[in-house]
Amino acid sequence: MFINMTKKRNPGLIQAAVKLHQEGKIPANTYVIDVDSLEDNVRKLSQTAKEHGLNLYYMSKQIGRSGFVGKIIEQSGIERAVAVDIDEAFELKKQDCHIGNIGHIVQPGKSQWEEVLTKLQPEIVTLFSVEKGRQLSEAAEKLGLVQDVILRVIRQSDMVYPGQFGGFLLDQLEDSLDELLQLKGIRVIGITSFPVLQINGEKNNFDFTSNMETIQLARKILENKGITVTHVNAPSATSCHTIPMLKEYGVTHGEPGHALTGTTPLHAYKEDLPEVPAMVYVSEISHMDEKHAYTIAGGFYPRSNMENALYGSNGTETLEQPAKVDCVSPENIDYYGCLKREKNMKVADTVVYAFRTQIFVTRAHVAFVRNVNSDQPELIYFQRRGN
């Protein structure tokens, strides 16, 4: 999905990935992240957000959710994380990263709230239900705390990805607020929904989903209950391009994830976006038959939209040798990838992919690299699967 744009905008990353693989410094089944470009992308996002009065939480799941990368992001200008689940929050906390938002998308379990409050100390917690509000409030009261919360709101007609349904139904929100406002351990300060943006049919911009209207309607309901709304969180595709769009709709907080590595859907089609592609996936040809070359896998993602890859035994050669991705099924375990065989392919050739991914649900390693445009790219940290 991103291989052509990465070749145009960050060819040094591809060449560095090939060099490190061919020298045995990184194995197949490794994502390679250009740390210099990552830092630059974060700085651009941070500056754009400041110019428009927006606050940002970074999402790390798609790049491996490690405290190592969390600290790099925080030092580059986005100071707090949004954790997709409690496990991600604990991984980040191992390196003293700061948690901004927890509970969206995965709610903590009933016995985990005390740990959330004492060990993770989030700025806000996202709630999906009155029941979760009661659990959190009870834990907070025992600790003598009042935790700020935002409510995920939804209408039946809203866009929701499979496996992610949940939240306060808009037509029941008033009644739910009557109960939540009685809880002494929480303070309702805002609302959220997901996804708020989706790439349009022409692939040249993002459009708002109906979820944005839901957020606006919910805000009025909260304000009519006397709540001062200070937090309007509108995640999905938060980037330098979309931050001004969000601000126009009264959004106060965004959550960049793929923008950190220049891999939102729009980055596959537009060359002039501020964020530069900063991540590729490295494999190698394991074996071949008459029609196909099979590549060591473990890091593919069902929604990757892969079409092409690059292959070769050195960086310059690889940039000029595309191959068609074939025989990839999301229904099967990705023991191997598959390319249509080219005449000059060799076993042990490096194969470089660039596609939409979520590293935390794969079996892949992550290599963080600096100086990709030099003769000696430097591997500064290797996150082995299982760590």
pLDDT of residue 275: 98
At 254-270, the pLDDT tens digits run 999 999 999 999 999 99
Give the pTM. Answer: 0.96
Kindly write down the DSSP assignment for every residue of 322-341, as one continuous string.
EEEB-S--TTS--SEEEEE-
Q: Does position 330 have pLDDT exceeding 80, yes or no?
A: no
Flag the least confident range among 97-111, 177-191, 273-287, 319-333: 319-333
Closest by Cα among 88, 149, 71 to 117: 149
**Residue 44 parent element (H or E):** helix 35-51
Report the pLDDT averaged over residues 247-254: 97
**Residue scoring higher pLDDT (141 or 387):** 141
Q: Which residues pair with 56 in a beta bridge?
A: 254
Report the pLDDT averaged over residues 71-83: 98
Mode of pairing for the β-strands spanning 365-370 and 30-34:
parallel
| Alpha-carbon span 21 to 109, nearest angstrom | 41
Helix axes 130-142, 173-180, angle to 10 degrees: 10
Tokens of 125: 């917690």
At 363-378, the pLDDT tens digits run 999 999 999 999 999 9
Report the pLDDT averaged over residues 101-128: 97
Helical ranges in 52-163 per DSSP H: 67-76, 86-93, 113-115, 130-142
pLDDT of residue 250: 96
Q: Does position 387 have pLDDT exceeding 60, yes or no?
A: no
At 164-216, the pLDDT tens digits run 889 999 999 999 999 999 999 999 999 999 999 999 999 999 999 999 999 99
Q: Confidence class of residue 386 from pLDDT cuts 50, 70 and 90?
A: low
Q: Does position 351 have pLDDT exceeding 70, yes or no?
A: yes
Q: Does position 329 have pLDDT exceeding 80, yes or no?
A: no
pLDDT of residue 181: 98
- CB count, 10 Å around CB of 228? 10
Report the pLDDT averaged over residues 119-144: 98
pLDDT of residue 172: 97
pLDDT of residue 109: 97
Backbone phi, psi, residue 296, to 5°: -60, 130
pLDDT of residue 332: 86
At 23-32, the pLDDT tens digits run 999 999 999 9
Q: Confidence class of residue 52 from pLDDT cuts 50, 70 and 90?
A: very high
Q: Mean pLDDT for the chain? A: 96
At 87-100, the pLDDT tens digits run 999 999 999 999 99
At 288-320, the pLDDT tens digits run 999 999 999 999 988 788 899 999 999 999 999
Amino acid at 341: R
